[in-house]
Amino acid sequence: MPIKKHGLGRGINSLIDEYSTYEVKKLEETGSKIMEIDIDKVKPNPNQPRKIFDQAALEELSASIKSQGILQPILVEEIADEVYVIVAGERRYRAAKMAGLKIVPCIVRSFTDLQRMEVSLIENIQRENLNPVEEARAYSYLLSQAGIKQEELAQKVGKGRSTITNSIRLLQLPEKMLDALEKGYFSPGHARALLSVENPADQEVLFSKIIDDDLSVRQAEALAADLNKGKRAINKLPFENQPQNDAKSPEILYLEEKFLSATGCRVEIKGKYKNGAIKKGKILIPFTSEEELERIFQLVSPGDDLYD
């Protein structure tokens, strides 16, 4: 789901404006510098909120950089003599390395630890780059490292306090469910339905139903309410009460890797491999942005308009 853009805190807003517009005069006024820097002297930020980078999208950006160069500089801070850490722009940095660039344009300036994390977080939010789990972890990190309250964090990132609270609450999901949310197999709305289930066993039941039966958020919420009332899932939707085996066959894993190699899409195949073939099942293709959805659609129907 696209992240709505809101106003930012004044201090961080000025940093983002400076970075995004690439106005030389403003850079000079704030003491920042534009430099061409050896790419080997630029290092990723270990605290970068974004952990997952779509390989196919990186390859597309790399091809664009080979053709047009880097049109927007990378925002960095010098942390040692001629050693720079990325504050914003790691995707461009990765694509530039793939393109074989030796020199990259950078905006160099100084940050406090909190500013560095804030700028990186906000830049990713504005570009809709973070998945729900990455965003939640970034908020949690800022709260723990900066020692600020949720109200202050909400002001800094231009979000409502309830948005911050609901985001961080996602981290209470069991690791398996959190991993599925991060991969895009269900939405934050489904996650909130899961979190509302009181009994861990019932939570597992709902999780399986969401994944296997593609429940809508409303269906998941209704089933969560029934489970909390002690009703069995079978009263609402078909459900097999046998234990589920999460282990995938080597053949299924091999096919998933073939899809990844051929399309650049990380897919999940649901089905049973028997007698040398999969007779029926489903393929789940998660995406984290409108651009990625458009790219996937073009693989299926080249030249057609997604919304036509």
Q: What is the pLDDT of residues 36-69, one digit of tens each?
A: 999 999 998 877 767 777 788 788 888 888 888 8
Mean pLDDT computed over 259-271: 78
* Domain C-terminal end among 202, 235, 268: 235
Dmax (CA) of the chain: 70
Average pLDDT, the chain: 77
Q: How confident is the model at residue 100 (pLDDT cuts 50, 70, 90)?
A: very high
Catalytic residue chosen out of the listed positions 18, 77, 90, 123: 90
- What angle do helix axes 200-213 and 188-196 make, rounded to 10 degrees? 150
Predicted local distance difference test score (pLDDT) of residue 40: 93
Among the listed ranges 71-85, 158-172, 216-230, 285-299, which one has the minimum average pLDDT value?
Answer: 285-299
Please check whether residues 290 and 151 belong to one and the same domain. no
Predicted local distance difference test score (pLDDT) of residue 10: 37
Predicted local distance difference test score (pLDDT) of residue 189: 92
The answer to whether residue 1 sits within a structural domain is no
Strands (E), the chain: 33-38, 42-43, 74-80, 83-88, 103-108, 268-274, 277-284
Predicted local distance difference test score (pLDDT) of residue 53: 76
The answer to whether residue 161 sits within a structural domain is yes
**CATH number reported for the structural domain that contains residue 25 in this entry:** 3.90.1530.10
Predicted local distance difference test score (pLDDT) of residue 175: 92
Which of 276 and 57 is assigned the larger pLDDT? 57
Please check whether residues 146 and 184 belong to one and the same domain. no
pLDDT tens for 281-304 read: 888 888 777 777 878 888 888 777
Query: Cα–Cα distances in Å, from 30 out to 26, 42, 49, 232, 260?
Result: 6, 22, 26, 62, 45
Total domains, the chain: 3
Residues 30, 17 contacting (CB under 8 angstroms): no
Q: Please name which of 108, 99, 115 lies closest in space to residue 41, comparing C-alpha atoms.
A: 108
Q: Please name which of 150, 128, 121, 154 lies closest in space to residue 7, comparing C-alpha atoms.
A: 154
**What number of other Cβ atoms are within 10 A of residue 15's Cβ?**
24
* Domain C-terminal end among 168, 196, 213: 168
Q: Which of 5-9, 76-80, 98-102, 298-302 has the highest mean pLDDT?
A: 98-102
Please check whether residues 45 and 142 belong to one and the same domain. yes
Mean pLDDT computed over 228-235: 62
The answer to whether residue 201 sits within a structural domain is yes
Residues 17, 8 contacting (CB under 8 angstroms): no
Helix (H, G, I), strand (E, B) or coil at 81: coil
pLDDT surpasses 80 at 86: yes
- Alpha helix ranges (H) inside 74-160: 90-98, 113-126, 132-146, 150-157
**What number of other Cβ atoms are within 10 A of residue 214's Cβ?**
12
The answer to whether residue 243 sits within a structural domain is no
pLDDT surpasses 60 at 28: no
> Does residue 221 have an active-site annotation?
no
Please check whether residues 180 and 80 belong to one and the same domain. no
The answer to whether residue 307 sits within a structural domain is no
Residues 188, 215 contacting (CB under 8 angstroms): no
Please check whether residues 257 and 216 belong to one and the same domain. no
> Hunting for tokens 């914003």 — which residue is that?
88
**How far apart, in whole angstroms, are the C-alpha atoms of residue 270 and residue 279?**
11
pLDDT tens for 194-211 read: 999 989 999 999 999 999
- The residues pairing with 134 across neighbouring beta strands, listed in sequence order, are none
Residue 275 domain boundaries = 250-300
Please check whether residues 43 and 192 belong to one and the same domain. no
Please check whether residues 214 and 267 belong to one and the same domain. no
Q: How do strand 74-80 and strand 103-108 relate by DSSP bridges?
A: parallel
